[in-house]
Structure 1
Amino acid sequence: MATEDIEISGTDELETAPAATAEARVRSYPVAPGVRLNVRSGPGTHYRIVRVLPEGATVPIYCQRPGDTVTGPYGTTNIWDCIANAQYVSDAYVNTGSDGYVAPRCS
Structure 2
Amino acid sequence: MTTESAETSASALLGVHRYPVAPGCQLNVRSGPGTGYSIVDTLDLGASVPINCQTPGTSVTGPYGTSNIWDNIGNGRFVADAYVKTGSDGYVAQRCG
Q: What TM-score does the superposition give when structure 1 sets the normalisation length?
A: 0.80
After TM superposition, the structure 1 = structure 2 runs for residues 81-100 of structure 1, keeping only pairs within 5 Å, are 81-100=71-90
Cα distance, 1:75 vs structure 2: 0.3
User: Matched residues in 2 for 1:51 and 1:73: separation?
Assistant: 20
- Identity rate of aligned residues, in percent? 65
Q: CA deviation at 1:8?
A: 2.4
Query: Which structure shows the bigger proportion of residues in helix conformation?
Result: 2
Q: 1:48-87 alignment to 2 at 5 Å?
A: 48-87=38-77
Structure 1 residues without counterparts, runs of 5 or longer? 1-6
Q: In the TM superposition, what are the counterparts of 1:32-51 in structure 2 within 5 Å?
A: 32-51=22-41
Alignment RMSD: 1.8
The residue aligned with 1:3 is: none
Cα shift readout 1:43-76 (whole Å, capped 9, x = no counterpart): 0001000000011000000000000000000000
- Runs of at least 4 residues of structure 1 off by over 6 A? none
Q: Aligned to 1:106, what secondary structure does the other structure show?
A: coil
Q: Does 1:23 align with 2:14?
A: yes
How many residue pairs were aligned? 92
Gaps of 5+ in 2: none
